[in-house]
Amino acid sequence: MSDNRIEIAPSILSADFSIIRNEISEIEECGAKYLHIDVMDGVFVPQITFGPKFIKDIRPHSDLFFDAHLMITAPENHLEAFIDAGCDCITIHQESCIHLNRALNFIKDRGVKCGISIVPSTPVSAIIPVLDIVDLVLVMTVNPGYGGQKLIQSCMDKVVELNELRSSEDYGYLISVDGGVNLDTVQDVVAAGADIAVVGSAYFNAIDKAAFLERMHSLARESFH
Ligand code: DX5
Ligand code: ZN
């Protein structure tokens, strides 16, 4: 982790897809390192966004860390395509994949980082069997499917729990928080132990995006000390 104590990962779900290359370049110019890429299939979640071709097309135009969040049913059927598209980390949901251990190891064996995500109604206990193999745990703090929702406070207990488990069991995963992160909630997210904060609408609604990221980092630093 950088001295910022938290990485802010802008989520392109809230971007204007008609000017996506500009939107992504701006994220890079603002100093962010991660690009959170929400893939939705209209089945696991209500909306449909895009598939691996979109990611493959934008890949040559950005050096950002491509953090793909697959909100799709049976993600194991599509992993090869997302790996081939150039994702740096592929996160799948506990709720949509039966053979989690196999799917996560498949991603890992291809040299790509693997993540596991849980929706608000899923407890941490559901992913304990795979915590020793994942590089990232993505805690959803809203019900997945839309940007612009309010953070569900009770989900923060899971961030604390994952942070404690990481220390006690010596696990190596990063903790990412996704949903409702903004200037009002980022300090709680950092205090709970997150390493990455996914920020969709709050980033894209900001008039001055660089200043917004700077403010998020400064609040994060205050919270950490
Ligand atoms: C929601 C997505 C999020 C979304 C977050 O299902 O997984 O990544 O973009 O958006 P905000 O930050 O607006 O809650
Ligand atoms: Zn997401």
Question: For the segment 178-196, what is each residue's pLDDT rounded down to a tens digit?
Answer: 999 999 999 999 999 999 9
- Per-residue burial over 197-225, b if 16 or more Cβ lie within 10 Å, else e, is bbbbbbbbebeebeebbeebbebbeebee
CB 210 within 8 A of CB 30: yes
- pLDDT at position 222 over 70: yes
- In words, the CATH class of domain 7-222 is alpha beta
The pLDDT value recorded for residue 5 is 79
CB-ligand 1 contact for 13 (6 Å cutoff): yes
Above pLDDT 90, what percent of the chain? Answer: 96
Compute the distance between CA of residue 32 and CA of residue 92 in angstroms, rounded to an integer: 23
Closest ligand (CA of 142): 1
- pLDDT at position 203 over 90: yes
Question: For the segment 90-141, what is each residue's pLDDT rounded down to a tens digit?
Answer: 999 999 999 999 999 999 999 999 999 999 999 999 999 999 999 999 999 9
The pLDDT value recorded for residue 224 is 74
Catalytic residue among 38, 41, 135, 195: 38
The pLDDT value recorded for residue 2 is 47
Clarify whether 38 is annotated catalytic: yes
Cα(177) to ligand 2 centroid in Å equals 9
CB-ligand 1 contact for 147 (6 Å cutoff): yes
Compute the distance between CA of residue 2 and CA of residue 25 in angstroms, rounded to an integer: 21
Question: For the segment 128-176, what is each residue's pLDDT rounded down to a tens digit?
Answer: 999 999 999 999 999 999 999 999 999 999 999 999 999 999 999 999 9
Is this structure's pTM higher than 0.85? yes
Mean pLDDT, the chain, integer? 96
Which residues sit with Cβ closer than 5 angstroms to ligand 2, an ion? 38, 69, 178
The pLDDT value recorded for residue 83 is 98
Tokens of 52: 């691996």
